[in-house]
Structure 1
Amino acid sequence: MTEDGARAWIGDAFSPTADQWARLERFARMLIAENAQQNLIAASTIPTIWVRHIADSAQLLALDMGGEGLWVDLGSGPGLPGLVVAILSDRPMLLVESRKRRCDFLRAVVAELDLSHVEVAEAPLERVETRAAATISARAFAPLDKLIDLSARFSTESTHWLLPKGRNAVKELALLPEPWQRMFHVEQSRTDAESQILVGRGKIAAKQRGKR
């Protein structure tokens, strides 16, 4: 996928309004500018920011079209995928990030783009108040078993899990306890032929933890 191809795919998939396009463009510029101050994304990915970060995040929303309710983005970092999802939809969004400088950036983007449906939780996930999540995403948060264990208390029977895991998706899934494995299937990334996304639905029960 090229940069033009990424924009075209977003246009076809979401039919963004002029305001949404402007917000995406502004977010991309803010991300590049802030990257000079703190390491948010790999510098080598800046020339392909629309493929590697904007479309790569937007594809998670495409996997949850028609969903509603609270979306919780774990280890949101620079707001990927959370801020992209929040620009392209009106889903209530909780960005969980423990690092202060990254949270300062997230809050600056939320204010600049007037994303009133976005909340930033500046804390380790263990200290975030439990809420029922309709969707849980995590682009680069933790190894899969730890990610699921830490976020289990946010899940319900209808929670949708969207977990990009690069080329190791199948391998990480195979290491999970069997009840967890059955909750997930693998989707191919639209933006990277070597990357995959774990897509699941359901509640992680406490009794499942640690059992294979």
Structure 2
Amino acid sequence: MPGSEIFQQVSGVSRETSDRLDFLEHLVRKWNPSINLVSKDSLPYLRSRHVNDSIQIFSLVDFTKGNWCDLGSGGGFPGLVVAILAHETKKQLQVKLVESDGRKAAFLREAIRQLEIEATVVNSRIEDLQPLGATVISARALASLSRLCGYAERHLSAEGVALFPKGATYQCEVDEARKNWAFDITLHPSKTHITAAILEFRNIRHV
């Protein structure tokens, strides 16, 4: 399975955590026909395309405490997976899932309840929020890099990091974003998609 080595990174987790990840997949499959949490085409590949991708995002962060804000959380990738792994690793991360769609926000709250994890759902448009002061911001399949830079510049703490998974055209998006934004960027080749990458942004500022 593509990306199976990512899951091996957490293969030593407790049975409880492994069961939580399995149960998350079950919940997504149960709710997806009603509210389209993930694309129908990717549903058979939840583990490799969504769960494992979320695990590798979590693995890039070395903070042991702080405020992790997942913007446009949708089906909970990576937000719910982050909360599950933070619980397992005892990291003191306050996980906040920002989702404007009321039905998806309802799913996230129910998933948090059934998974018995700590996370907060904010049912709001990102543009309407007061600055979040996040230690970590993640956003997966949400918007262009230029738009994401605007969100991060507003909601990221001075020492914080933003993690944005992007597909094969990520360099074009970086070049476009540089027209209006300055930032320090670290490229992490994706271990689940051969042409994709996770872009790590720091010190984002408008130019």
Within 5 A, what are the aligned runs for 1:38-77? Answer: 38-77=35-74
- Residue number in structure 1 paired with 2:95: 93
**Larger strand share, 1 or 2:** 2
3-state DSSP class of the match of 1:135?
strand
Matched-pair contact (CA < 8 Å) for 1:20–1:87: yes
The structural deviation recorded for 1:184 is 1.1
SS of match in other structure, 1:174 = helix
Runs of at least 5 residues in structure 1 that lack an aligned partner in the other structure: none
Normalised to the residue count of structure 1, the TM-score between the two structures is: 0.88
- Cα separation, 1, equivalents of 2:64 and 2:73: 20
- Asked whether the equivalents of residues 139 and 164 of structure 1 are also in contact (C-alpha less than 8 Å), the reply is yes
Deviation at 1:131?
2.1
For 1:160, what is the secondary structure of its paired residue? strand
Normalising by structure 2, report the TM-score.
0.90
Please show how residues 113-132 of structure 1 align to structure 2 within 5 Å.
Answer: 113-116=115-118, 118-132=119-133
Q: CA deviation at 1:86?
A: 0.6
Quote the Cα distance in structure 1 between the aligned partners of 2:142 and 2:57: 15
The sequence identity of aligned pairs, in percent, is: 31
Instruction: Output one character per residue of 1:86-137: Cα deviation in whole Å (capped at 9) or x when no partner.
Output: 1011421110100000001000001111112x00000001222322111010
Q: Which of 27, 30, 49 matches 1:30?
A: 27
Which residues of 2 match residues 115-194 of structure 1 at below 5 A? 115-116=117-118, 118-177=119-178, 180-194=181-195
Would the aligned equivalents of 1:169 and 1:197 in 2 still touch at CA under 8 Å? no
Q: 1:97–1:123: 8 Å Cα contact kept in structure 2? A: yes
| Backbone CA RMSD of aligned residues | 1.8
- Alpha-carbon distance between aligned partners in 1 of 2:11 and 2:123, rounded to the nearest angstrom: 30
Q: Does 1:9 align with 2:10?
A: no
Q: Equivalent residue of 1:37, what SS?
A: helix
Tell whether the 8 Å contact from 2:99 to 2:122 is kept in structure 1 after alignment. Answer: yes
Count of aligned pairs: 202
Match of 1:89, SS? helix
Gaps of 5+ in 2: 88-92
